[in-house]
Structure 1
Amino acid sequence: MKKLVLTALIAAVAAPAAFAAAKCEQHPKEQWIKEADFKQKLVKEGYQIKKFKVDGNCYELYGKNKDGKKVEIYYDTVSGKPVKSEIQD
């Protein structure tokens, strides 16, 4: 029983760490979509932004999508395309 609990605990701790390793292509900062413009685009698409930040070479969104589901999405800073995403029910 202890081994099962320990395994579950390790999996719970390791999962967020594994997700956080999004790899976005490195671009010169002058080529990046302006942060304010990109946030405005996301809001127009129906996202509710709880937190928005730069994570390495990615833009990172924490919030809800148009369906009200929690999301964590990493975006390329030049193309604006999602690089990695997680949607929770």
Structure 2
Amino acid sequence: MMKLIALTAVAALTLSSLTFASANCPKYPKDQWMKEADAKAKIEGMGYKIKKFKVSGECYEIYGHNKEGKKAEVYFDAKNLNIIKSEID
């Protein structure tokens, strides 16, 4: 029984760490962040088609497609839009 409890705890910790795995963006005061409308326009100017745009921790995050039409999940620095993390399918 103790092994089952221990395994369940390890599995829960593993899943929670995967669920909350996001990009490690630099922290800036919110007044230094690029305005969301400006960020969306600039990201689209980079060739991304945005399906969903959100704030994720200290990052701007998009779900959509890149200029090649591949599915993309991209985390951007909220101040200068440097790409911090990108997952392309």
Query: TM class by shorter-chain length?
Result: 0.7 to 0.9
**Percent of aligned positions with the same letter in both sequences?**
53
**Aligned residue number for residue 44 of structure 2:** 43
Q: CA–CA distance in 2 between the matches of 1:19 and 1:41?
A: 27
**Aligned residue number for residue 21 of structure 1:** 22
Deviation at 1:46, TM superposition (A): 1.6
Deviation at 1:66, TM superposition (A): 0.7
Q: CA–CA distance in 2 between the matches of 1:59 and 1:39?
A: 9
Equivalences for residues 68-79 of structure 1 within 5 A: 68-79=69-80
Deviation at 1:48, TM superposition (A): 0.7
**Unaligned 5+ runs, structure 1:** 1-9
**Aligned residue number for residue 55 of structure 1:** 56
3-state SS of paired residue (1:26) = coil
The count of residues paired between Structure 1 and Structure 2 equals: 76
Root-mean-square deviation over aligned CA pairs: 2.1
Deviation at 1:45, TM superposition (A): 2.0
Deviation at 1:21, TM superposition (A): 2.3
**Unaligned 5+ runs, structure 2:** 1-10
Please give the TM-score of this superposition, normalised by the length of structure 2: 0.76
Answer with 1 or 2: which has the greater Rg. 2
**Aligned residue number for residue 85 of structure 2:** 84
